[in-house]
Amino acid sequence: MRETYIVRSCILLILLAIVSGCVNGPNDEITLPPADEYDTAVAVGWLGFNAGSYDDAALTFGKAVEIDPTLSQAYLGLGWSYAMLDQTALALPNLDLAIARDSESPDGYAAKAFVHLARGEYEAAIEAARQAIDFGGEDYVFSQIPDVQTRNLRLVMVESHHALGQYSDAQAQVDTLNPDNNLDEDSRTYKQDLLLEIEDLGSVGLVLEELIN
C-alpha cells in the first residue's frame, strides 16, 4: 500500500533525490523525480490545517480525493478539517471513508472519538476511542496532530463515561492514567472527587480543546 502517515514535502523529495545520486541529467544538471500528486496535495492540506486555515485545507484534501479516491489520507484530512469548521455532520462520513480504506489504522477511529465527544455522543466516542487504542496501542500518536494520542483518547473515555454516569468505568480509565489517584468509590464525596481528578489529569491539547469547546 503506497500510503504514508509522514508528510512527504517537496523539500524532502529534493533532498532524497540529491542524496540518491540518481538525479543528474545531461551536463550534470539536476533532474528532480516527479512528485506524487496525491501525497503532495495531502501534505499541502496538512500544512494549511496546522496553520489554522481549515477551509483551504478542506479544499486541498478534496482535490486529493479527486486524484485518488481509493486512499484514506485525504478523507482523514477532510474529516478533521470539517470537524474544526464545526461541520461535524460532514466530518463523520469522511472519517468513515478513511476507515473503510484503511480499517486497521487507528487514525480514523481516533478522529471519530473526538468528534463524537464534541457532539455529545458519548457511547460512540467510547467505542471509537477503544478501537483506536486497540489498533494503536499505548504509544499511539497521530503524526499530524500530536495531541491525538492514547492518553487523550483515554481522557475521552473518562469524560464520556462520567457524562453517562458510568462512574466505575470512568474510574477504570483514571486508574490507568493515574494509578496513584487515591479515589475511594465508597466515599460520600466520591463523585465530586472523581470530577476533580478528571480535571487534574490535564488538557487534551489546544487543537482538541478548540474542537470540543
Residue 199: per-residue pLDDT: 86
97-134: pLDDT as tens digits: 999 999 999 999 999 999 999 999 999 999 999 999 99
From CA 107, how far away is CA 116, in angstroms rounded? 14
Rounded to a whole number of angstroms, the distance between the first and last alpha carbons of the chain is 36
From CA 146, how far away is CA 92, in angstroms rounded? 20
Q: 52: alpha, beta or left, given left = phi > 0 and alpha = psi -120 to 50?
A: left
Give the residue-averaged pLDDT of 18-41.
58
Residue 211: per-residue pLDDT: 75
Mean pLDDT of the chain: 85
Residue 210: per-residue pLDDT: 74
Task: Kindly report the number of other CB atoms within 10 A of residue 121's CB atom.
Answer: 17
| Residue with the larger pLDDT of the pair 28 and 184 | 184
Structure pTM? 0.81
Going by pLDDT thresholds of 50, 70 and 90, the confidence category of residue 201 is confident
Going by pLDDT thresholds of 50, 70 and 90, the confidence category of residue 42 is very high
